[in-house]
Structure 1
Amino acid sequence: MKIKLVAEHIYNQEFSIERALNWILNSMTSEFCMRFFHEWLEIAESGTQQLTTPSWKEIIELKEKSFSKFNFRFETNSKDKQF
């Protein structure tokens, strides 16, 4: 569903390839930041009860949980403006 929406958004706005890739990168960065914040909030809540700071291992796990697993293929036919 998200993929179709992205393709339609790019096509309807007649984005350049650079602008479309920038839009995708910004979307993924925003999603990473939100996930990282929510994961950090969980650690912070438990840390306040224990009066400890998270270990580096926990921070690395936090970062790994925050990354989305995604891939995309971007093909364009400049003659027909098909994406």
Structure 2
Amino acid sequence: EYALSNLRFATAVEPHNAELASYLLRCQSLRAQNFPTLPSSIGLEKRINPFLRTAQPEVVQTAQARSPGQPTDAVSVFATLREWKNVF
């Protein structure tokens, strides 16, 4: 169960995503009761997963702040996020 770790990373990338914040609280509650956080849906993932949101302004800005000078295309943003997640 690695959802909480992923959600904490997503929150660092996109701290103003209200749906993400709400889902993190829900998952924390589920895990506190020893329940799984899955299943998810592709619709939800598209709204909260930064790797699927590489064109969103806040995600792009966070990636730029993390790796100044990097291009802002979706592939470059994804690569920056992946490198960051590896050490998060």
Q: Quickly name the TM-score band, shorter chain normalised.
A: under 0.3
Structure index of larger Rg: 1
Higher relative contact order (CA 8 A, sep 6+): 1
Compute the TM-score of the two structures, normalised by the length of structure 2: 0.25
Compute the TM-score of the two structures, normalised by the length of structure 1: 0.26
